[in-house]
Amino acid sequence: MNNGSTRSSEEVSLKAVKITDSFWSGYQKLVKEVVLPYQWEVMNDRVPEAEPSHVIKNLRIAAGLEDGEFYGFFFQDTDLAKWLEAVAYILETYPDPELEKLADEAIDLVEKAQQPDGYLNTYFTIKKKGKRWTNLYECHELYTAGHFIEAGVAYYQATGKRKLLDIVCRFADYIDTVFGPEPGKLQAYDGHQEIELALVKLYKVTGEKRYLELSKFFLDERGKEPFYFEIEWEKRGKVSEWNNSTDEKYSPGQNRQYNQTHLPVREQKEAVGHAVRLLYMLTGMADVAKEYNDKSLLQACRNLWENIVTRQMYITGGIGSTSIGEAFTFDYDLPNDTIYAETCASIGLITFAHRMLQIENKSVYADVIEKALYNIIIGSMAKDGKHYFYVNPLEVFPEASEKNPIKRHVKPRRQKWYSCACCPPNLARLIASLGLYIFTKNSDTLFIHQYAACEAELEVAGSKIKVVQESAYPWNGEIKIGIVSDVQKEFNIALRIPGWCRKYSVDLNGNKLEADNLLKEGYLYIRNVWSGNDQIHLVLDMPVEMMEANPLVRANAGKVALQRGPVVYCIEEEDNGDNLSALSILTEPEVDYDPELFGGVHVIKIKGYRRLNDGWENKLYKPAGSKYKPVNIKAIPYYLWGNRTPGEMMVWIRRAGNEID
């Protein structure tokens, strides 16, 4: 029965999966109807009070359609690239001629902005003519290329239209003439990883192996001695692009961990430096490891996965403990209030996990995808689809965000846009492509990684089947899976038992299965001769759990977090009054459905105490003897925080008398 588990598995086509889930289709609809049109307006600078974008204008200037100056970061183009990719994913399952028309227009513009030799980047075309490839360390040129490539691939897959794919192939072909091991080419790589994973996508859709080889080349060069960025820095006169400074402190050698150039990628074992860069790199590494069956590359992926997930990940699936360098810090250092946890970093964690899941069928990868999806990802966008978090804190005190400089990046409200707007379109493309994360398959097994109502038409073990998932996940752990097949065929359906689940049962066509015997690395392998209309009924026990953190996570000492299924909860000032730090909770939380809140949501109620301010007027310190009063505390799903009056929020809550149970 376990054959399937030892083989790698493949992604299924996005087109094959139709999300019918009321939870997720709401988000996808929001992306389609609100987020993408809104972001288009932003990129055209038509949203009052939002940070200026200038993305379309930069392209028009580069295309010679109008005069003007470049505005924005040197990677400003990527906002459009990610938007196009998101549009493509939407079009895969929700045809929308209007959106497609906008996208086609944008692609026409991109084509006009492309240079005769295939080069494409408005910053260098408009502002830094003749300076291509002189500052890979800082200027994100290949990163920007990578996002265009991802868009080209996605748009082709969705629509069959080749224009953008052709554009990015021309660009990639040009890049291939500039970079490579051959004499006369640059033995270099980008300061911000992204092109690596993009080139693998391009290889897969075109079959052109040069793209895969170039991806591997970039990975192999990274971290080599002599240090390319230092050579480049000297060559361009030791000037930083960010601030025109020649101060040695801006030289690339000062912090090689920042962009993961401190060691060859195969030798890296601890997650350090800029989190998004690392996760994009790891996504590409896993891709290349799989394509080449490269064991040392795969081992590095496993090592870094292990380090991130067992040492440096927040309970929400957030990663990156410090705003300084948007970076990892060190094992178990997970402060809640000075956290970074960038939305894009969790997106990178999801894509990395998704690639690993295609190499080895271990539920931990899908567990982390689930964790990030239900907490960081949907939490980073407001209910209205027009406000976004870049940073996803686990504890917020608005006055501190305003007045303590080390918390200034922790915003108590989602913003309309960001000057560095990497996150909002990234989020759109992730939600739009949710269907990619539900299944993978190999010749003998269909894996069901995520639970969400959907219908999928898939070919498994040479046989065409239809899978119909029904559930009210994540609020209810009961999942029905119908397998409709025209012919008889034996293969496995492997169901993920989530890491949070301590008790479950499963039956097939009404017959209870001995589930424990079927479990391997987190998946229940149900082997069966599927014929006609089979029904799997999985019940995941989903009580509220009081979660503790590893004792080495100093920030959470004495505290617990409330979680139900994959959904992490938080308490907000709106429900519990101000100064949430004065609250402590007892055991026995209860789940309750609140039909009024956000159109109906499961909340958690728990008894606890509030320490009183009585007798503390104008005193900072005095002998112990505070008064407490019993209070009822209400927690809401973390992903919904910040959608009402701005105020305090807290995930990790002090527990009254932990030691005295």
**How does DSSP classify residue 397?**
-
Q: What is the smallest separation between the CB atom of 366 and a copy of itself, expressed in angstroms?
A: 16
Catalytic site includes residue 301: no
Which residue in the block uniquely carries the two structure tokens 């997720």? 24
- Which of 586, 601, 590 lies closest to 638 in space, CA to CA? 601
Q: Is the Cβ of residue 191 or residue 335 nearer to a copy of itself in the bound state?
A: 335
Distance CA 89, CA 95 (A): 10
Output the smallest distance, CB 584 to a copy of itself, in A.
Answer: 6
Whole-number minimum distance, CB 243 to a copy of itself, in Å? Answer: 7
For residue 29, what are the CA distances in angstroms to 38, 293, 377, 390, 457? Answer: 13, 39, 15, 22, 21
In contact, 91 and 27? CB cutoff 8 Å = no
Using CA atoms, how far residue 596 sits from 171, 572, 607, 645, in Å, is 52, 16, 22, 16
For residue 370, how far is the Cα from the chain centroid? 10
Q: In the bound complex, what is the minimum distance in angstroms from residue 418's beta carbon to a copy of itself?
A: 19
Instruction: Give the residue with the Cβ less far from a copy of itself, 166 or 331.
Output: 331
Q: Which of 422, 454, 501, 570 is catalytic?
A: 422
Q: Which helix (H) or strand (E) holds 228?
A: helix 228-235
Nearer to a copy of itself, 496 or 654 (CB): 654
Of residues 5 and 323, the one with the C-beta less far from a copy of itself = 323
Residue closer to a copy of itself (CB basis): 20 or 245: 245
Q: How far is the CB of 393 from a copy of itself (least distance, A)?
A: 14
Query: Tokens 């972001």 — which residue?
Result: 39
- Helix axis angle for 209-221 and 195-206, nearest 10°, is 160
Is residue 422 annotated as part of the catalytic site, yes or no? yes
* Helix 163-178 / helix 141-159 crossing angle, nearest 10 deg: 150
Question: Looking at beta carbons only, is 129 or 619 nearer to a copy of itself?
Answer: 619
Q: How far is the CB of 109 from a copy of itself (least distance, A)?
A: 34
Minimum Å distance from CB 234 to a copy of itself? Answer: 21
* Site residues for a copy of itself per CB under 8 A: 243, 245, 247, 306, 309-311, 313, 315, 321-322, 324-325, 329-330, 333, 335, 338, 397, 399-400, 403-406, 502, 545-554, 557-558, 560-561, 579, 581-582, 584, 587, 609, 611-613, 616, 618-626, 628, 654-660
Give, in degrees to the nearest 5, the angle at Cα 556 between 551 and 559: 100
Choosing from 194, 213, 326, 470, the catalytic residue is 326
Q: What letters, b where the CB count within 10 A reaches 16 and e where it falls short, cover 66-85? A: eeeebbbbbbbbbbbbbbbb
Q: Answer for the pair 633, 608: CB distance below 8 angstroms, yes or no.
A: yes
Map residue 287 onto helix, strand or coil: helix
Between CA 155 and CA 152 the distance in angstroms is 5
User: Please, which residues bridge with residue 415 across strands?
Assistant: 388
Return the amino acid letter for 612.
L
Task: Provide the β-strand partners of residue 592.
Answer: 603
- Number of residues in the chain: 661
Compare residues 232 and 573 and give the one whose CB is closer to a copy of itself: 573
Q: Which residues are catalytic?
A: 326, 422
